Amino acid sequence: MAQDTRKRIVVGVDGSQLSLVALRTARRLADLLDCRIEAVTVWSYPVALAVPIASAEWSPRVEAQSALEETLQATFGQDVPEGLKKLVVSGQPVQVLVEASKGAEMLVVGSRGRGGFAGLLLGSVSSAAAAHAHCPVLIVHPPEAD
């Protein structure tokens, strides 16, 4: 298969409802700008674990991979954008997204992720990504209620 040389739109995906909004928005932009989408999910071992041990019952990497697949399925179903690249990366979300933004046309993130407080307009990951990304950043908010 030939390598896709189109520019990238990177999307931070954490399994939240805003991840779906971010992916849908990125798809519209990718179609307009002739870009491919790179969906990035970040995982790390919980701080509460003294020694990072993955077990047969639970693995944060596997959980992150499942969350990414479920979010992509909920967003696109069988109509997956051509050239979509899925990345599941260990690390801190801001650092991983800022690194992924290098050479990208745009970074798209939700205004709040899974850990966001409902009253906040902007989460810590989205605000830090906007401050440090190597490309323009689009921060999506929840759709207005009808």
pLDDT in tens, 72-88: 999 999 999 999 999 99
Confidence of residue 130 (pLDDT cuts 50, 70, 90): very high
The string of pLDDT tens digits covering residues 2-24 is: 677 889 999 999 999 999 999 99
Residue 61 C-alpha from the chain's centroid: 15
0.75 exceeded by pTM: yes
In percent, how much of the chain has pLDDT > 90?
A: 65
Mean pLDDT of the chain: 86
Q: Given CA atoms 15, 96, 142, 37 in this order, what sign does their dihedral have?
A: negative
**8 A C-beta contact, residue 129 and residue 41:** no
3-state secondary structure of 144: coil
pLDDT at 117 exceeding the cut of 60: no
**8 A C-beta contact, residue 23 and residue 14:** no
